[in-house]
Amino acid sequence: MAFWCYILRCSDGKYYTGHTDNLELRMAEHQHGGYCGFTSKRRPVTLIWAQDFPSRVEALQSELTIKKWYRAKKEALARSDWQALSHFAKPPAERSTGTPRLDVSTSLDTNGDGGQ
């Protein structure tokens, strides 16, 4: 059985990160509403990234890691932009001056953890 970690883009532009053992069913639950208060208020949602894992523990660990990421890093992952992902993985003081994608936000408020 595969387990999934996924990122959704909500209609208001915020991101939701979760994990599941049935991605198709979970997407239907998010689209229908009622499953999750955060996404229910922000429908429709779009799946922008998903990765399968061999165990629930690994999928959950991935979810918990990604939830802490800045918006720009999540967007780099969704685009499979490994150069930008590597750039945003470094602490700001260690990043080179050639910042990729200067137009992207690095706001932490992408999972509903603040500003609700």
Q: How many domains does the chain have?
A: 1
- The reply to whether 101 falls in a domain is no
What's the average model confidence in pLDDT over 105-116? Answer: 49
Q: What is the pLDDT of residue 27?
A: 97
Query: Which amino acid, residue 75?
Result: E
User: In whole angstroms, what is the distance from residue 45 CA to residue 40 CA?
Assistant: 9
pLDDT tens per residue across span 20-53:
999 999 999 999 988 899 999 999 999 999 999 9
Domain that holds residue 48: 3-69
- Count of beta carbons in the 10 Å neighbourhood of residue 90: 10
Q: What is the pLDDT of residue 115?
A: 39
**Nearest alpha-carbon partner for 8 in 50, 40, 36:** 50
- Count of beta carbons in the 10 Å neighbourhood of residue 14: 19
- The reply to whether 62 falls in a domain is yes
pLDDT tens per residue across span 70-99:
999 999 999 999 999 999 988 888 886 554
CATH classification at residue 22: 3.40.1440.10
User: In whole angstroms, what is the distance from residue 101 CA to residue 41 CA?
Assistant: 29
